[in-house]
């Protein structure tokens, strides 16, 4: 599937901003199941300096600064991406068992396994905890294929938790998400990663976009698509596999990757430092994912 993506982020400030420095993760990755053909990130007011670099996780990071006084900042990212199915014909009922995956993770025989162990560790926003292990442990029987167990955990989160945009913020801890049983895609991805890490598996946070389709008979609204989050779990000898607990599915061609890391903090679409601006800036986000 080939897509054209337009992602607009707008900030409006109560007072004048004299200077700002920003970091954006808005350039889609090229991976085994995805090719980024073109990508451009633009700022208004125009940035006086900006440069692209590859960050620690291999994502494209765009650093830019604006020195012109302004009360409004608009960042527009446009890309063309081609996606492919991720599984390569692997069945959820095939592959390494949970016990074999844990054995190989404890005794890494290759560089890939050793590198994946980084994603077993706690990170800034995801901490292993006994209650998270208990929530998932019964699904990960030793002889069960890992991917089958991860799919079952995906279904459990989808079934037992309610999608509620007003229930959480970026800073809401997983303990509160567990207690309320409500959240958004970021929360559900963090939750599933935390469960997997608590059990000893390697899992990373994936940030990107997802194509949405309007109800039958209705036209698609401009800006109706969304930034999205899901996760990827590692199986030695087999690689990384992406699951989306918000939609109870493995990630498919409609899932477009911009960046991955240990958690949301590593791959925030846009963050920065401003001088001035007053309090409570108003932010708006519009995303269009169109097939071409």
Render pLDDT for 130-167 as a digit per residue (tens, 0 to 9): 999 999 999 999 999 999 999 999 999 999 999 999 99
Angle CA 39–45–47, to nearest 5 = 60
- If asked whether residues 41 and 131 sit together in one domain, one would say no
CA 64 – CA 44 distance, rounded (Å): 11
Return the pLDDT at 76: 97
Q: Is the pTM of this model over 0.85?
A: yes
Residue with tokens 């404890």: 106
Higher pLDDT, 213 or 200: 200
Q: Is 176 helix (H, G, I), strand (E, B) or coil?
A: helix
Return the pLDDT at 91: 84
- If asked whether residues 281 and 212 sit together in one domain, one would say no
- If asked whether residues 143 and 239 sit together in one domain, one would say yes
Q: What is the average pLDDT across 165-193?
A: 95
- If asked whether residues 283 and 249 sit together in one domain, one would say no
The model's pLDDT over 98-110, given as tens digits with 9 standing for 90+, comes to 999 999 999 998 9
What pLDDT band is residue 221 in, cutting at 50, 70 and 90? low
CB atoms within 10 A of CB 80: 16
Residue with tokens 């069960």: 144
In a domain, 222, yes or no: yes
Half-sphere exposure of 4 (CA within 13 A, CB side): 3
- If asked whether residues 55 and 156 sit together in one domain, one would say no
Instruction: Give burial (CB, 10 Å; 0-12/13-18/19+) of 43.
Output: buried
CA 257 – CA 236 distance, rounded (Å): 22
- C-alpha to C-alpha distances, 65 to 25, 69, 234, nearest whole angstrom: 15, 12, 37
- If asked whether residues 77 and 142 sit together in one domain, one would say no
Q: Residues of the chain with pLDDT > 70: what percent?
A: 96
Handedness of CA 40, 45, 49, 54 (dihedral sign): negative
CA 11 – CA 61 distance, rounded (Å): 20
- Structural domain span for residue 24: 2-83+268-291
CA 101 – CA 109 distance, rounded (Å): 12
- If asked whether residues 113 and 136 sit together in one domain, one would say yes
CATH of the domain at 24: 2.60.40.2250
For the chain, the domain total comes to 2
In a domain, 93, yes or no: no
Q: Residues of the chain with pLDDT > 90: what percent?
A: 88
- If asked whether residues 18 and 145 sit together in one domain, one would say no
């Amino acid at each position: 599937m080939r897509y054209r993506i337009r992602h607009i982020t707008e900030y409006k400030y109560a007072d004048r901003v004299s200077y700002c420095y920003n970091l954006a993760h808005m350039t889609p990755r090229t991976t085994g199941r995805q090719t980024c053909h073109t990508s451009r990130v633009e700022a208004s007011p125009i940035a006086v300096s900006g440069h692209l670099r590859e960050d620690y996780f291999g994502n494209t990071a765009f650093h830019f600064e604006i020195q012109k006084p302004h009360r409004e900042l608009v960042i527009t990212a446009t890309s063309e991406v081609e996606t492919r199915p991720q599984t390569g014909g692997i069945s959820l009922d095939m592959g390494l068992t949970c016990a074999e995956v844990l054995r190989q993770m404890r005794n890494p025989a290759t560089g890939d396994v050793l590198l994946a162990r980084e994603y077993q560790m706690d990170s800034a926003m995801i901490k292993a905890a006994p209650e998270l292990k208990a929530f998932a442990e019964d699904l990960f029987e030793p002889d069960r294929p890992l991917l089958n167990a991860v799919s079952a955990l995906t279904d459990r989160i989808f079934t037992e938790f309610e999608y509620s945009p007003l229930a959480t913020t970026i800073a809401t801890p997983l303990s509160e998400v567990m207690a309320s049983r409500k959240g958004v895609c970021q929360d559900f991805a963090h939750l599933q990663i935390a469960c997997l890490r608590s059990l000893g598996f390697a899992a990373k946070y994936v940030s990107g976009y997802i194509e949405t389709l309007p109800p039958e008979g209705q036209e698609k609204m401009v800006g109706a698509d969304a930034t999205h989050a899901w996760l990827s779990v590692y199986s030695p000898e087999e690689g990384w596999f992406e699951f989306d607990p918000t939609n109870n599915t493995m990630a498919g061609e409609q899932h477009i990757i911009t960046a991955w890391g240990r958690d949301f903090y590593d791959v925030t679409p846009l963050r920065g430092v401003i001088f001035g601006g007053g309090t409570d800036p108003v932010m708006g986000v519009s995303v269009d994912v169109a097939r071409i």
